[in-house]
Every structure is written in C-alpha cells, then in structure tokens.
Amino acid sequence: MRPVGSKYLLEEPLGRGATGTVWRARQRETAGAEAAVAGQPGETVAIKVLKEELANDADVVMRFLRERSVLLRLTHPNIVRTRDLVVEGDLLALVMDLIDGPDLHRYLRANGPLTPVAAALLTAQIADALAASHADGVVHRDLKPANVLLDERDGGMTPMLTDFGIARLADSPGLTRTHEFVGTPAYVAPESAEGRPQTSAVDIYGAGILLYELVTGRPPFAGGTALEVLHRHLSEEPRRPSTVPAPLWTVIERCLSKDPDRRPSAENLARGLRTVASGIGVHANSAQIAAAEGVGALLAPDPAPTAVPETPGAADPTQVLPSNAGSYDPGAATNVLPQTGPGGQGQGPGGGHADPTAVMPPVPQRPDGPPQPDGPHPWQSQLQAARDRNEQTQVQYLDPSQDPLRRRPQRQQPPQQHQQQQQQPQRRQPPPQHQQYQQQHQPQRYQQPQQPQRQQYAPPQPQQPQQPAARPPREPRPPRQRSANPMRIPGLGCLKGCLFTVVLLIVAGWLIWELTPLQDWVAQGKGYWEAIGDAIGTVTDWVSKVGNSAEGSDGA
Ligand SMILES: Nc1ncnc2c1ncn2[C@@H]1O[C@H](COP(=O)(O)OP(=O)(O)OP(=O)(O)O)[C@@H](O)[C@H]1O
C-alpha cells in the first residue's frame, strides 16, 4: 500500500483514464480543516492520482490550488463529492467519495440501450447536476457516459457525475506547450471543435449526445478517425432513429443544435426531460401527452450562460491533423490529440477571458515566463504551503514488484458477492424512477463483468533506513505490441516481401510480353538494339510524313 499525503493509503487501482489513475483508498487519519470532508480512519474513498505530466506542470498545480475551494464546495446528490485535494511532492490527487457501481459507459456495453423513458429520467438527473454546477460557475466540459458513475446503494441506481474540473486542469496552457488537446471527439461541441469561445452550453451538447447514446447504444457522430468525427459535429445534422419518440427527439435535437444559443439551459433541460418522460410512458394521460408534445416551448436557453475561460487547447479540425487519427476509438478515454489551434500560442492562464471560478486574483505571468523582479511567483508559495501540510507523511520503502501504482488496473470484486451472483443470478435494480418503465418496455439485466480475484498486496517491506528517500527505479516499459496476432513466425515478413516481389515481376513480364511488339521481334529473330533502332526509325518516318502532309495542305 502506498501513502498519499499523510492521511490516505492507496489500496487498489479501479481504473485508468487520460488524466490519471483512480484508486480505492483508505483513510488513515482524519483529514485537516483544509479538506471538505474530514473522514474517519478506516473509511474507504476513491482517489484520482493525476498523471505525472500534469502534476509536474506549474500551470496545472496553480489551477489545482486556485480551484480547490470551488471543487470542494461543489455538492449535489448527482455529483461525486470531492472530499480533499492532496499535493505532496510531485503528486497531485483528488480524494472523492467511493461510488459502488459501474460507470454508464460500461453499463451500456453490458446491457444495451435504455428505454426512452429511463433515458430521459436518467439524463434529467444529470441535467440537475449540471444546473447546480453552472450556477456555481463550473462547466464540466467532458460530459460522457464514462464520467457518469451509477451508485447502487439502496437497491436503486443513481447517476453521479464525476471528473469536474479535470478538463480545466488538463488544458492548462502549460500542457498546450506540448501541442496536445484533451477531449473526447464523440462528445465535443462544435464550438469547442472549432476553437471558438465556449460556455456552459458545451455541457448541454454533451448531455444531448449522451441522451442519444442512451436510447440508441451509440453516439450520433462516429467515424474512422477523430478528425472525421469532429467534422461531422460541425457539418452534419443527427438523424432521428425510428425508436426515439418525437418529443424526446425534440429535446435531443435542441441539445445538439450547432448554435450554442439555441440549446436549453440545464435547468430547462431537466424540466423538459421530466415532462417528456411522463408524456411518453404507457400510463400517460392526455394532458401529459399534450405537455410532452409541446416540450419545445420549455427548452428556453440560458440567458446568461457560464463562460469557459478561453481554451488554448481546443481542437480545430481545419488545422489539426491528429497523429492518432487512424486509430480512433469512440469508447476510449478522453483522447489526447496533437494541437495547433489558433489560441494555442502566446496566451497566459485563462486566455483573454476572466475566470469565473477563480478564487485568487489572476496570475500576472506564467511561471516559465520571463523572470519576475519581485519575489517568488505566487504559485510557489502556495505550493510550498500545500506541501507543508503533508510534511508528516512517512516515506516507506516499497518493493517495485509490490507497488500497486505499477500494476495494471483492476476493479475489486468482493469474493462473497461474486459467489452469490454465481449461485443466484440477480436482476439488476434500475433506478427507482425508471423501474416501472424499464420493466414494461425492456427488461434488462446487468451482468457484472467477470472479474479476476482481488489482488492481495503483501505488507510493505520493513523500513530500510539507508534507502528510504530513493524512489524504486522505474521498470522498463514492455515493448509495444505491434500486432494483435500473438503468434510470430520468424522470417515471415521477409518471405511475404519476396513473394510479393516475385508476383509483381511475373505480372510486369506478362504485361510487357502481351502489350509490346516483343513477341514479333522474338519471332523475327531480331536483336534487342536492332529492334529498338527499327522502332525509332518507324516513328521518325511517321512524324516526318505527318509534317510533310501538314505543309502540303497549308501550301494548297
Ligand atoms: N469516485 C469513484 N468511485 C469509484 N470508482 C471510480 C470513481 N471515480 C472513477 N472511478 C472508476 O475509475 C475509472 C477511471 O476513472 P477516470 O475518471 O480516470 O476514467 P475516464 O473517465 O475513463 O478517464 P478520463 O476522464 O480521464 O478520460 C472509471 O471507469 C470509474 O469506473
């Protein structure tokens, strides 16, 4: 087990995304006043340890500290609560409530699409979460099924939105220096794809894509490459699948409007979706049906949408050619694309716009900018203060083979629960609001993906005073797998090449034999140079004849 700060111990990785790895962790001792939730020793939590690349970026660290209070105060029944933010050495981590249940992406893959009513009610709860965060000045910007966790407490399933603020950290100007764009092409709003200014309406677009995916099983805009997907967001109108009722389609269409000003506010979206859900259910009365049919009138846009500080890392498909464009996976984690967007150069933190969520005055200069005459940069003192809070952390020597950070992620499966499932397969409880509709429309069973046994980690090695501070050496990365075919036949590549060349030579020889006068020359027994000379003579004669006849006709 590995300590994070002085208060937490990482136990087991739950999953890995583009911005970091999420761990099941245990509280060692009650957190201090700087945490939103103090917690009790022994309590389990989830901790997202941000990638080294992010943690080593001064801009990201700065934002992490600046947004601390915003993230910690963001509480809502449909938002995964951030309990604490830890800065320790080169490590940045978010401590969250541990959610017991799959994410929506995994759920959809295992169970297929939801009924229109269930999809509308689930998205309404997500819209509630968005309305609360937008009111607080926070735009999510990476809304997708993988960022919605399904909390299975009390026999129901409550959607919980997670990863708030992570997109904001990831598109730090510092990272843009590395020419990367962080986002998920299948869920990117047209204005983000074009590098135009963004508002909270990008989350409504994301909610529209998510809703479409919930009822159809796949997002509306797919493609072989990330670039193709971004282009389709910009230029294509989604088509209504026959299984989507008209009132629900009205909502989806408005959310997916290319013009952000036509998209409804999160609050109106939630209201509209609940109206639709009551009007399309089998028990709907005529008033409910009429209200659902008139849902368009409820979808008024937000008169004052929350602005997103200008994003230097927004993708511009007209200018960006992702190097991984050929291997786009719509279900993958947030993609990181090479980026040379218009705003990518010469902008300070937050670009030219005021940061509505900032709790500190804006930083005058970037830490890597020209040296400042007076004193250390503000982020340095903040960082030092944050590190000082974690001074008591004991550094324990950890055998690299037992370091869970170097193991592959695995989701925990309590053995007795696993056994129970094997003995009597249980019907999964849909969210209480959806229950009646799910059963009427589409009985669905959630199959827990088969899990390997929980990894047991041996207790840490006894402390070795002579090497406590030294980090275990990084294990060499395994060589990249080039092909999915695990069988390798020595020399097969060379053999294939040779065979291809032989076939090519045979075809070329046959074409020359058939299409040139070579056969005649061979039949006449002429030598090669003699035949070439004859051919040139014939052509010269023909050209001079043509020239003479042209002159004759001019003279006549
Ligand atoms: N609070 C939590 N409680 C329980 N499990 C969680 C929690 N947060 C995340 N997870 C699990 O960890 C996995 C990885 O989360 P993460 O947010 O890093 O993934 P992601 O959303 O696919 O990646 P990214 O947003 O970086 O593209 C998720 O699939 C989710 O199942």
Q: Tell me, using a 6 A CB cutoff, whether residue 80 lines ligand 1.
A: yes
- Mean local confidence (pLDDT), 244-264: 98
* 383-402 average pLDDT score: 39
Task: Give yes or no for a contact between 95 and 83, defined as CB atoms under 8 angstroms apart.
Answer: yes
Half-sphere exposure of 475 (CA within 13 A, CB side): 12
- Contact present, 103 and 147 (Cβ < 8 Å): yes
Instruction: Calculate what percentage of the chain has a pLDDT beyond 90.
Output: 35
Look up residue 154 and give its DSSP letter: G
Question: Which mutation among 12, 78, 98, 149 tests ligand 1's pocket best, with the greatest number of atoms within 8 A of CB?
Answer: 149
- Catalytic residue at 142? yes
Give 398 Cα–ligand 1 centroid separation in angstroms.
25
Residue 140 has pLDDT above 70, yes or no: yes
Instruction: Identify the active-site residue in 84, 97, 142, 316.
Output: 142
Task: Report d(CA 167, CA 411) in Å as an integer.
Answer: 24
Ligand 1 centroid distance, CA of 299 (Å): 31
Q: Which atom of ligand 1 is nearest to the CA of 14?
A: 12
Tell me the average pLDDT across 275-298. 97
- What is the residue-averaged pLDDT of the chain? 71
243-265 mean pLDDT: 97
Question: How many A from CA of 147 to the centre of ligand 1?
Answer: 7
Rank 31-35, 102-106, 313-317 by mean pLDDT and report only the highest.
102-106
Helix/strand/coil for 3: strand
Measured from the Cβ of residue 364, the count of other Cβ atoms closer than 10 Å reads: 11
Model confidence at 531, pLDDT cuts 50, 70, 90, reads confident
Q: What is the mean pLDDT of residues 403-417?
A: 41
Cβ–ligand 1 contact at 17 (below 6 Å): yes
97 Cα nearest atom in ligand 1: 1
pLDDT for residue 147 is more than 60: yes
- Residue 192 sits at φ, ψ, to 5 deg, of -70, -40
Q: Which residues pair with 15 in a beta bridge?
A: 22
For ligand 1, say whether the CB of 163 is within 6 Å of any of its atoms: yes
Nearest to 164 by CA among 178, 177, 149: 149
The residue with greater pLDDT, 85 or 420, is: 85
CA of 18 to the centre of ligand 1 (A): 10
Q: Which residues fall within 8 angstroms of residue 316, CB to CB, at 6 or more apart? A: 193, 194, 195, 340, 341, 342
Mutate to test the pocket of ligand 1, among 106, 162, 451 (most ligand atoms within 8 A of CB): 162
pLDDT attached to residue 372: 37
- Alpha carbon distance 411, 417 (integer Å): 14
Q: How many angstroms separate the alpha carbon of residue 156 from the centre of ligand 1?
A: 20
pLDDT number for residue 183: 62
Ligand 1, atom nearest to 20 Cα: 18
Q: Is the pLDDT of residue 46 over 80?
A: yes
**Pairing mode, strands 20-27 and 335-338:** unpaired
Sequence-distant (≥ 6) Cβ neighbours of residue 118 within 8 angstroms = 214, 430, 431, 434, 437, 438, 441
Q: Give percent of the chain above pLDDT 70.
A: 61
The mean per-residue pLDDT over the stretch 232-261 comes to 96
Integer CA distances (angstroms), 27 to 18, 30, 112, 459, in order:
25, 7, 36, 17
Q: Which of 120-129, 170-179, 462-471, 539-548 has the lowest mean pLDDT?
A: 462-471
Residue whose CA is closest, atom 4 of ligand 1? 99
Q: Is 148 in the pocket of ligand 1 (CB under 6 A)?
A: no
Instruction: Tell me the whole-structure pTM to 2 decimals.
Output: 0.61
Residue 16 Cα to ligand 1 middle (Å): 7
Best residue among 103, 147, 158 to mutate for probing ligand 1, ranked by most atoms within 8 Å of CB? 103
Cα(159) to ligand 1 centroid in Å equals 13
146 in contact with ligand 1, CB cutoff 6 A: yes
CB of 162 closer than 6 A to ligand 1?
A: yes
For ligand 1, the distance from its centroid to the CA atom of residue 15, given in whole angstroms, is 6
The number of the ligand 1 atom at minimal distance from the alpha carbon of 17 is 23
Question: If you take atom 9 of ligand 1, which residue's CA is the nearest one?
Answer: 22
Q: How far apart are CA 209 and CA 195, in angstroms?
A: 19
Which residue in 414, 416, 405 sits closest to 457, CA to CA?
405
Say which residue, 345 or 33, is predicted with more confidence: 33
Which of 22, 74, 168 is the pocket-test mutation for ligand 1 (most atoms within 8 Å of CB)? 22
Mean pLDDT of all residues in 370-397: 39
Whether the CB of 147 sits within 6 Å of ligand 1: yes
Q: Show contacts of 385-388: CB within 8 Å, 24+ apart.
A: 386/65, 386/87, 387/87, 387/88, 387/89
